[in-house]
Structure 1
């Protein structure tokens, strides 16, 4: 058993380098993340210094090329790192996933000049990113966004409001999707906006039921001006860029969900092994053993699903349907597993003395972010049966 008391999780890793990376992550979790997670989440403290440390360890650019400062790791390895981080503190695991999402546009669609100028700091940990797609009236229907960018000379003027932005107000850069043309998905363009741009203002963070240490805020753009060399991709290509990023981002959410569920199972197992009732350990009661077995099965199934999707991505095959399936299944599994963990701890599970009540509150948001699970079902159904018929 590791020094932090958690039982080991068997990993399917492609080589010695990946095993060494997981060892590094587990040591960082043991020393730097787990000891302060409960206290900082309760206080709503964003661990900016911890993200700097994670960046110095090379964990903020793992799936991107080494020649631009990334880690050069396949997605199947990167996602297992996310799982380890989220098992200790979801604010950290999800934060790394969001940063990776924010880097996607420049890394995959940026010009060579943009990549050379921006990626080393973005991937090397000097900067922390945020991803601005959703708006107050454009969440699931992202193609109807209203934030507008107007070309003025050699610059773009951006006006509008983005909503539900993780790292809103603390990010060093924002990947922003704005309308530059007609209505619909073909009129959207991507921009890379500095966090200190004049006219950019973050509202006070939302008051949430969970993930209190991770700031989620509206971000207002009031005449924010950026040069044309911060436009990423072609005009009108933004929605394609956004969907491409979301397919990968959904795998990040799936991995975080399984990490959260694993953390809840670990707590429940330890509690039922040591707590005694009627002269016997709780784990001796068949009904509780069956609950633990179901929890473990959901976790293993979810892990297998997100890893299968990651391997498709790593080999260059289409993985959009599998990413939606992984996000759907893993986040639903996390909600069920964390709820069961609270039940297994009984009254103690409902108190803040044990972390499972926090895990349950945090699990809920994973069914909503980066496409609600209802949207994932729509994506899967379209892959199976084609688009819906129009009346």
Structure 2
């Protein structure tokens, strides 16, 4: 993503919508929009701006980084970091590693205590926003003898000695969203930079990912809707065999099916957001929304390429980009099979 775009995003409300620092003062929040309020929905679902990379950029900061600091940070950390994140700074969340993808707590990155600071060594992969981030929330194991219960969250500034940010990955889709590897070589972090409690990082990661999945569902919904909105008018203009493409019943049925899937994905997503706002259990519904919206985005964008025929396969039209961007939805913030595992586990507990 070009730095000029990042600067515009940092100055926009897109990076401040979800937490109290809209007025650069987390102690005096304005009336916050709830996730399920109608006036908030277009920005959440990207329906006004169906660009997956931009939504990824803002979602990481709004639903993960900001939320973690707001919910678990000390008063000093909130004062130091939330104001910066609300004005001109970008945050990044560092969990995944080469051997810790879907098995997200099989972390090898360690944080060894040395007096009043910790020394972090290890590496991270697939870190969104890393290229432009000013601070990183890093999950590292401070006590490997306790397994995943030793995982702790540390706040690490970009200019900390020993932190190295690798070259952005050359991805299939969401190419404007930077995704980089990170390495930590004897990175010294003050004990005061522990976010929340020692050994509670795994809890914070689970909580943030559960809520973040609603953001991914919204992203996929907006992407699919944007692709659908672009393609259907084309089918009403394109003439073949003396008729509009849209006049063929076979295509009409496909369009109707896609529209129904879109609406179902929308309602699943809004319902999950509503449950969060109501402070009710939402994990199953978030997994359902993320799973279904991601699958629907892949199906609809694929159909849109087909409906446009040869031109849909070219870069002269945006549908091929929607198609490429949609694939990540079934992979990140919990692959589709992980969502199904979560749903099944909760159904088992329910009955």
| Number of the residue aligned with 1:75 | 35
Q: CA deviation at 1:53?
A: 2.2
Q: CA deviation at 1:79?
A: 5.2
Q: CA deviation at 1:127?
A: 0.8
Q: CA deviation at 1:188?
A: 0.4
| Number of the residue aligned with 1:367 | 330
Q: Distance in 2 between matches of 1:95 and 1:70?
A: 23
| Number of the residue aligned with 1:175 | 137
**1:97 to 2:97 alignment:** no
| Number of the residue aligned with 1:63 | 18
Pairing 1:1-391 to 2, within 5 Å after superposition: 46-66=1-21, 67-68=25-26, 72-77=32-37, 78=40, 80-84=42-46, 87-100=49-62, 101-122=64-85, 124-181=86-143, 182-386=145-349
Q: CA deviation at 1:183?
A: 4.4
Q: Matched residue of 1:235: which SS?
A: coil
Q: CA deviation at 1:141?
A: 0.7
Q: 1:166 to 1:86 in 2, by over 3 A?
A: farther
Q: Any conservation in 1 of the 2:47–2:223 contact (CA below 8 Å)? A: no
Q: Any conservation in 2 of the 1:282–1:288 contact (CA below 8 Å)? A: yes
Q: Matched residue of 1:119: which SS?
A: helix
TM-score (norm 1): 0.84
Q: Distance in 2 between matches of 1:316 and 1:241?
A: 17
Q: Matched residue of 2:13: which SS?
A: coil
Q: 1:287 to 1:214 in 2, by over 3 A?
A: same
Q: Any conservation in 1 of the 2:15–2:58 contact (CA below 8 Å)? A: yes
Q: Matched residue of 1:144: which SS?
A: coil
Larger mean CA deviation between 57-66 and 148-157 belongs to 57-66
Q: Any conservation in 2 of the 1:79–1:251 contact (CA below 8 Å)? A: no
Q: Any conservation in 2 of the 1:106–1:232 contact (CA below 8 Å)? A: yes
Q: CA deviation at 1:88?
A: 3.0
Q: Any conservation in 2 of the 1:58–1:125 contact (CA below 8 Å)? A: no
Q: Any conservation in 2 of the 1:132–1:175 contact (CA below 8 Å)? A: yes
CA-based RMSD: 1.7
Alignment deviations for residues 63-107 of structure 1 (CA, whole Å, 9 cap, x no partner): 212541877221224554132268532110111101121222211
Q: Distance in 2 between matches of 1:150 and 1:85?
A: 45
Gapped regions of structure 2 (runs ≥ 5):
none
Q: Distance in 1 between matches of 2:128 and 2:47?
A: 17
Alignment deviations for residues 294-347 of structure 1 (CA, whole Å, 9 cap, x no partner): 111111111111110101101111111111111000000000000010010011
TM-score (norm 2): 0.93
Gapped regions of structure 1 (runs ≥ 5):
1-45
Q: CA deviation at 1:50?
A: 2.5
Q: Any conservation in 1 of the 2:15–2:61 contact (CA below 8 Å)? A: yes
Q: Any conservation in 1 of the 2:139–2:151 contact (CA below 8 Å)? A: yes
Q: Any conservation in 2 of the 1:137–1:145 contact (CA below 8 Å)? A: yes
Q: 1:109 to 1:138 in 2, by over 3 A?
A: same
Alignment deviations for residues 348-386 of structure 1 (CA, whole Å, 9 cap, x no partner): 111111111111111111110001011001111111114
Aligned residue pairs, count: 341
Q: Any conservation in 2 of the 1:54–1:125 contact (CA below 8 Å)? A: no
Q: Matched residue of 1:143: which SS?
A: coil
Q: Distance in 1 between matches of 2:105 and 2:12?
A: 37
Q: Matched residue of 1:151: which SS?
A: strand
Q: CA deviation at 1:260?
A: 0.5
Q: Matched residue of 2:137: which SS?
A: strand
Q: Any conservation in 2 of the 1:95–1:166 contact (CA below 8 Å)? A: yes
